[in-house]
Amino acid sequence: MTTWTIKTVDAAIRKAKKDECDVWLTEARPRGEGRLRLRARPGGHVLFYFRYSCEGTQHQLDLGTYDESGRAGLTLGAARASAGELSRLYQSGVRNLHSHLAHERAAQRALIEAAAAKRREDEKQATAGSLQALLKGYTQHLERQGKMSAKEVGNLFKLHVFEAHPQLTAKRASEVVQQDVSATLAGLINQGKGRTAAKLRSYLSAAFTAGLQAEGDPTIHPSLHGFALKMNPAALVPAKSLRQFNRERERALNEDELRVFLKALDERPGLATDAIRLTLYLGGQRLAQLLRLKPAQFDPDGPAVTLLDPKGKRLQPRLHVLPLTDPALAIVERLMQANADHKYLISSRGKVPVRVETLSKRVHEISTAMVKAKKARAPFQMCDLRRTCETMLARMGVSRDTRAQLLSHGLSGVQQKHYDRYDYMPEKQRTLKAWARKLDAIAKGEAPGKVVPLRRG
């Protein structure tokens, strides 16, 4: 009985290449034990098989490819060892090796899946009622309500709670105490991140409040139920001590700075500039709301656009209708030509809106250039444009109430929510027309003017 060697394999490879056809070798074994087979391909590849008979029919099991080093396949010795195991199994009475091995693989998969399921269940039980579950539930609650803050809240929890404090994260939410929250916030303050600490305290408090309210409110999603909360530990941390980190920005451009800024926009045409100009012509609307504008929210007959304002504790976004002046309409019509058939109006590809960061970068570039050229008193940001618009509107004599309606802020009181159904469109239209004239005068360098107070009635 001849035993194969590496020379045997090499010879088979040479013959297959020479004859340009497969060469098969079968190792001699006694009858009833099964046999190791070798198949050399003309391309130089060698495959091993185990051949056996079942109910009068021959079958072959694929053992793998040959590799003399054993790194990328089976050595001759490994192939022989594998064939030997199958031979012993075959001789023990297992005649259908294919079926037997398939059942073994299925059983192994079932064991692996069962172990994975148990691990998932153990993890679920370990996190059930945990602080992590509460904070994730609150983030999902914000997402379901369409709150634009949901992403920021989720990122804040992930970075400064889940990743920074894994032990606290795994702690049951009902067992979290004031000292836990204070220690977490103190760590951020010590890193010079006081404003982040103040925001985190606010969001933690909101999450615990939502969890407490959920226990008696069947309309709140189940992800916020079942925490058995007795108190709000974040609310026990004095907010007053963190107010020092919540310094409000006061930067507003004067008319000379705004003139230079508008000229800089003229020198940088494109989608980002159109978006910035549109928010200016609309009186300084919140950029995040404006960028989510969809083609269906444009009414050419008005002409007007309807923004969705989800800010505050509203369950449904407030419809914020804004009339379009001629320069604003020109921008919207240009955007409609490009994106009328797409999801978002202010978009380079239609699928997603332009990012706020893209516009902020454009404003930062202009601000830096203006400061360097001594055309600006100090740097300014995208968020300062809204303040600039409202400040100038106030100087023009536009009433506080009209500005509130135009900019959609301070409208969450009982009167506004339940009783005042007037749409303020005439006031908005008069104000935006006067504002468009004001911007045009500023851009041309004309003397500043003042309008008659724009009030209803």
DSSP label at residue 242? G
Examine residue 310 and state whether it is found in any structural domain, yes or no.
yes
Query: Do 50 and 11 sit in the same domain of this protein?
Result: yes
Residues 387 and 292 placed together within one structural domain of the fold? yes
Same domain, 67 and 35: yes
Number of H-type helices and E-type strands within the chain:
17, 7
Q: What six digits make up the tokens of 345? A: 């109006």
E strand or H helix at 444, and its extent? helix 425-444
Q: Mean pLDDT score of the chain, rounded to an integer?
A: 88
- On whether both 284 and 385 belong to a single domain, the answer is yes
The CA distance from 441 to 232, in Å, is 53
Q: Is 189 left (phi over 0), alpha (psi -120 to 50) or beta?
A: alpha
Whether residue 27 is contained in a domain is answered as yes
pLDDT value at 277 more than 70: yes
Diameter over CA atoms, the chain? 113
Closest CA to 178 of 224, 112, 226, 236: 236
Domain co-membership, 326 together with 266: yes
Tens digits of residue pLDDT in 100-132: 999 999 999 999 998 888 767 655 554 568 999
Between CA 277 and CA 281, with CA 280 as vertex, the angle to 5 degrees is 85
Range of the domain at 139: 131-245
Cα–Cα distances (Å) from 439 to 67, 269, 365, 391, 405, in that order, read 77, 18, 21, 13, 20
- The pLDDT, as a whole number, for residue 47 is 97
Mean pLDDT, residues 264-268 taken together: 94
Average pLDDT score over residue span 12-25: 96
Which CATH number characterizes residue 410's domain? 1.10.443.10
**Claim to verify: residue 430 and residue 291 sit in the same structural domain:** yes
Q: Report pLDDT for 456.
A: 42
Looking at the structure of the chain, the number of domains it has is: 3
Residue 194: per-residue pLDDT: 87
Strands 23-26 and 298-299: unpaired
Residue pLDDT, tens place only, 370-404: 999 999 999 999 989 999 999 999 999 999 999 99
Q: In the prediction, which pLDDT does 219 show? A: 74
- pLDDT, tens only, 287-334: 888 998 999 999 999 899 999 887 655 557 788 999 999 999 999 999
Q: What is the mean pLDDT of residues 344-359?
A: 86
Contact in structure between 138 and 207 (CB atoms under 8 Å): yes
Question: Both 221 and 260 in a single domain?
Answer: no
Question: Residue 161: helix, strand or coil by DSSP?
Answer: helix
Q: What is the pLDDT of residue 453?
A: 45
Instruction: Indicate if the pLDDT at residue 257 is higher than 80.
Output: yes
Contacts 24+ apart (CB under 8 A), 354-358: 354/271, 354/272, 354/275, 354/291, 355/291, 356/287, 356/288, 356/291, 356/382, 358/272
Q: Strand, helix or coil at 212?
A: helix
Long-range contacts of the stretch 35-41 (C-beta < 8 A, 24+): 35/83, 36/4, 36/63, 36/79, 36/80, 36/83, 38/4, 38/9, 38/12, 38/66, 40/9, 40/12, 40/13, 40/15, 40/16, 41/16
pLDDT of residue 122: 52
In this model, does residue 146 exceed pLDDT 80? no
pLDDT of residue 447: 54
CATH number at residue 187: 1.10.150
90 and 137 share one domain: no
Residue 49: its pLDDT value, please? 97
Q: Are residues 389 and 367 in the same domain?
A: yes
Same domain, 411 and 313: yes
From 47, 67, 95, give the residue that closes a domain.
Answer: 95
| pLDDT above 90 for 245 | no
Which conformational region is residue 237 in: left (phi greater than 0), alpha (psi within -120 to 50 degrees), or beta? beta
- pLDDT mean over 186-202: 91
Residue 119 lies in a domain: no
Task: Encode pLDDT of 419-451 as tens digits.
Answer: 344 778 999 999 999 999 999 999 998 755 444
Q: What is the pLDDT of residue 124?
A: 58
Domain end marker among 44, 71, 95: 95
CA-only gyration radius of the chain, Å: 36
d(CA 200, CA 160): 8
pLDDT-based confidence at residue 414 (cuts at 50, 70, 90): very low
User: Do residues 421 and 286 share a domain?
Assistant: yes
Burial class of 168 by CB neighbour count within 10 A (0 to 12, 13 to 18, 19+): middle
Say yes or no: 173 and 283 in one domain.
no
